Structures are given as structure tokens and as C-alpha cells.
A and B are shown apart, each in its own frame.
Chain A
Amino acid sequence: MSVYSRFARAASGMAMVAALSLSPGFARAIDFLDGDLQLHGFFSLTLVNTSDNNFFGQSDDQISSEYSEVGANASWRLTPDVQLSAQLLSHRAGGTDDGGVRLDYGLLDWTMASSEEGRSGARVGRIKTAYGLYNKTRDVPFTRPSIILPQSIYFDRTRNLTVSADGGEVYLERYYEAGSLSASLALGQPQTDTDAATVALVGLNPPGHLDAKLAPDFQVMYEGSGGRYRLGFTALHLDLRYKPGYADRLGAGRFKLTPLIFSAQYNAENWSLTSEYASRRISVKDFGPFFYNGDALGESYYLQATYRLAPKWEALLRYDVYYADKGDRNGQDFAAATGLPGFTRYAKDWTLGVRFDVTPQFMLRAEAHQVDGTGFLAVQDNPNAQDLRRYWDSFMLLGSFRF
């Protein structure tokens, strides 16, 4: 099928979404009980085209429409101190996620102490994982700076491990004249039950499965001058064990991942500068001779500028860098040990994007990427590493509606 007819089909689909969302009555938030019960949601579709390699479906010289996000949530404030919330999410992303509906979060938030100076409390249930500036709402297009988040830190490949966890969290907020300080400490069971989580770490068609120990997650954030600048630090520790399946080539291996993220953002009236740096210590052992065991220190960072050109228009420029192993940045040692291309161990991504808010409920985005390396590509979409190309471009269009 020609690129154009596929594109036309998907574009007409987007136009329908637009027409629907512009009709009055539909584009309204739904409140009950005088606003104490609120329903909100979003749906979005992204078209992806790549010059080489596949990203979010079969995109190589084609248009993939296999990246869509649909979510609906309800929140109910029972008393000033207690809120119940839950969100259902369907996330379709090429070979990594089939769009099956999952509980994204479902939690009870209890403010235990509250005064003019701050508040503290606890959350229990399925809680969004604090991880850098964007992770808690990573699947909500309106809250992202671009169509895809910087992949060096917010991997879509391994997203399921850090989306949300089942457990508890305590939090503390302090409001000072100069700024506000917030901190949270969570302990939860990461979601390892999906294929996507296992495949990203172990490889295609694994006969076994991953089990996770309770993962601690700590974040502290300081917002100065009403959010003019934001400084954050996140530390997460994942401890995963592989239970080999029948006739498995792999042994009962163990992954330990400890990402540390430093975040900084400056917000002016018409522009923002954002940068995050992540250091990821990874220890892989006991998988046996058919696996790349060993310790590595991964490194990721990006620098991003957004500019509000006009009330409804925003432009973005970003440089995003990922190294799987700081001690083997160009992947030479990895290539020698495995015979796989060294450029699968890094990715340097220049991104140029534009956002247009047609209405407060309907947003369009376009984005171009020029990438050196394939470090963040998913094996499900690119099963044969020898077919990968080191230099590749991608272009994406997103239409997103919310209520």
C-alpha cells in the first residue's frame, strides 16, 4: 500500500476526532457531587514514519499508526483529607504493547496533617512511580513536552517497570515564601507480569518470567518562586529475578537496576529550559553463557528548550543522549563480545517539534528526530539486530483530545 493512502486514511481518522472534540457539549469536564467527584480522560493517536529501523510498529518507509493512548480516570474527594482515584489506560505501542486495558493507578490518598505551612500524608494502592519530572503522567500527551519523552531517561522499551507499583507511599510538602519543598518515599511491587517488561530485559520469546522484590522509590523536589525553577532528585532501586521456563537456555539470573536522576527546569513566561541527568547502575548476573552478564554504569541526559511562540503555539528543540555503558560508550566491547552492532548501545537524538492547541481540549503536534544509534529501539519491532541502521530519522504527527 502506498505511503500516501495509508497517511490519508489515518489523517481522516484524526479529522473525525477533531470534529468530534470541537462539537460543544462533548468537550466538557464531567463533575458530580458539586465537583467532589470528577471524571477526566484523553485519547490520542500518533503516526510514525522512520527513514530506517522501526519505532512503535512497522514505520520503516511506512506510516505506522500503532501508537495510541486512551485513558479515563475518576477522582472522588470523600473528605478534605481523603481522596480516592483510579485510572484505566490502554497503551498501544507497536510490538511492545497491544493496547490491553490496564489499571494505571488506583489509590487512596490520605492527608494526615495539614496547615498553612504544608501538609503530609500517605497513599496506598497502585501508585504512579516518581521518576524524574515527567514519569507520573508519562502517558498523558498534554503533560509531555513532546510526542515522545526523551527516551534516554523515559524508555518506552522498558516502561512497564517504572509506570506504577503496588504498595504505599508517604509524602511531605512544605510551602515557604521562597518556594515549596516536597518529598516522597514509596515502597511498591513493580509490574513485571507483562511480556514487554520481560522481553526488554531478557530478549524475544522468553520461556521464563521476571519476579520483582519490593522497590524503594525516593524523590525530592524544590520549586522556587512559584515554580519558576524546579530542582529534583530521584532514586529508585529495582531488584528482579528471572525464573527460567521449560528448556530455557538462560539461568536463574538477577538484575539490579539503580537509576539516580537529577532534574532541573527554568520557566520564564514564554520559554522553559529543562535538563535531566540520569546515572543507571545495572548489575546482571547468573544468566549463564548465553547472556551478556556483567556490571555497567549507564548514563543519560538531555537538554530541552521550549518556546511559546503565541498563546496556542509552542516549539521545542532537544538533544537527548543515551549510553548503555559509560565504560563502553560506543559499544565496541559489547560488539566484540556478542557480535551485535555497537551502535545498539547508545543513541543521540536531535528533536525539533511544534505543538498547536486548537482548543484547550484538542492538541496537534508534529515532531522530527535525527538519531545516531539505536539504543532505545525495541527488539519486538526490530527482531534482527543485523538489519538495524546506525543513522535514522523519524517524523511523527499526534492528535490528542481530552476532557
Chain B
Amino acid sequence: MEKLLTIKFVTWIGRALLLCLLAAALPAGKAQAQPAEPEMVAIAHPGTSEEAIPRATLRAIFGMLLQKWPNNTAVKVFVLRDDAPEHATFSKSVLQVFPHQLRMAWDRQVFSGQGQYPEQLASTQEILSRVASTPGAMGYVKASEVDHNVRVLQVR
């Protein structure tokens, strides 16, 4: 009797699973049409020595691997939430890394004792002010938001 119940239970869950998959696949199809994405740029504290930076190095910094600038200042990385559109645009167009891969890379390092998470802020405006006031800081904002308190890093 108990065996029968288990089988019923498993079949029922299996069906529920299938329905969930279908339900989830529907909205996924709609997510294609999106408004034009704003141009994102990498910014750094004005005291940093670099004007331009190789993309590979930028990836290593936002991947939380590279921890200091050539002049020995500690790197401090600011980002937005994973689901922020600006985070996705910056990751994909500037770093050329998918946001879910950045998350996996951070998780792998934090939970094996090899690294730390970047600091998550609420808006690009907050990133702008924290980068301006923190030596060694890096972040990203929309190109239209850049002011003279931060340095834009060209990707070479």
C-alpha cells in the first residue's frame, strides 16, 4: 500500500514538474523584445594610474581575481544586483561575460576560501559617488552619467 502511494506521489510530482517547466518556458519566449540598451563604461577612482586597460585584465578585476593596481593600491569593486539591466549590459558588452558566469565565478571563490564578493550597490548613481570617493575603486555607469570625479577606463 505504501509503495503504491509513493509511486502515485512520484508520478504526481513528475507531472507537476512538467507543468512548471511549460509554464516557465512561456514567459521566456516573450523576453526577446527590449528597448535599446544604454552604453555602459568602466570607471575608476581618478587617482588610479591607468587610462586604458586590456579587456582580459578588466575581466580578472570584475571576476575578483586581480586584487591590486600596478601601483600597489587595493582594488575595490562596486557592482549592481545580478538582475539589474545595467549589470547585464556592462557584463555582456564590455566584459563580454554573461552575468550568471560572473556569479558562478564569485561563488566558487568565496565558498572555497579563494576570494571575496564585490560590494553590491543600489544604483549607478551610488556607484558613481562611491568610486569617486574610494581610492582604487572600480565600477560601471552609463556613459551619459560620467562626471569629472571619476576616470573612464578605455578598453584596449
Contact = CB atoms under 8 A, between A and B. Distances in A.
A235 B63 CA distance: 26
Contact of B116 (A75, A111, A310): A75
Given A119-B65, A137-B107, A368-B14, A226 B100 contact: no
A105 interface: yes
B119 A31 contact: yes
A143 B108 CA distance: 7
Contacts of B54: 116, 175, 177
A236 interface: no
Contact of B66 (A114, A270, A352): A114
Nearest to A75: B116
B122 interface: no
Nearest to B30: A310
Given A116-B53, A173-B65, A180-B59, A128 B112 contact: yes
Given A31-B119, A354-B20, A366-B13, A49 B6 contact: yes
A344 B5 CA distance: 28
A2 interface: yes
B113 A86 contact: yes
Contact of A105 (B2, B108, B112, B117): B112
B28 A310 contact: yes
Interface residues of B, number: 57
Interface in A303-318: 308-311, 313, 315
A119 B56 contact: no
A382 B5 CA distance: 23
B110 A38 contact: yes
A372 interface: no
B107 A140 contact: yes
Contact of B113 (A79, A87, A117): A87
A241 interface: no
B60 to A, nearest CB: 5
A105 B75 CA distance: 25
A51 interface: yes
Contact of A51 (B10, B96, B115): B10
Contact of B68 (A40, A114, A352): A114
Contacts of B27: 310
A286 B66 CA distance: 49
Contacts of B72: 80
B36 interface: no
A66 interface: no
A277 interface: no
A92 to B, nearest CB: 18
A78 B53 CA distance: 26
Nearest to B101: A227
A267 to B, nearest CB: 6
B100 A87 contact: no
Interface string A169-181: 0000101110010
A87 to B, nearest CB: 6
B108 to A, nearest CB: 5
B60 A109 contact: no
B111 A40 contact: yes
Interface in A102-149: 105-107, 109, 111, 114-119, 123, 127-128, 136-137, 140, 142-143
B33 interface: no
Contact of B17 (A118, A136, A267, A354): A354
Interface in B9-48: 9-10, 13-14, 17, 20-21, 24-25, 27-28, 31
Interface in B127-155: none
Nearest to A77: B116
Interface of B: 2-3, 5-7, 9-10, 13-14, 17, 20-21, 24-25, 27-28, 31, 53-57, 59-60, 65-68, 70, 72-76, 81-83, 95-98, 100-101, 104-105, 107-108, 110-117, 119-120
Given A119-B66, A227-B97, 5 more contacts: A40-B111, A87-B113, A128-B113, A173-B65, A313-B28
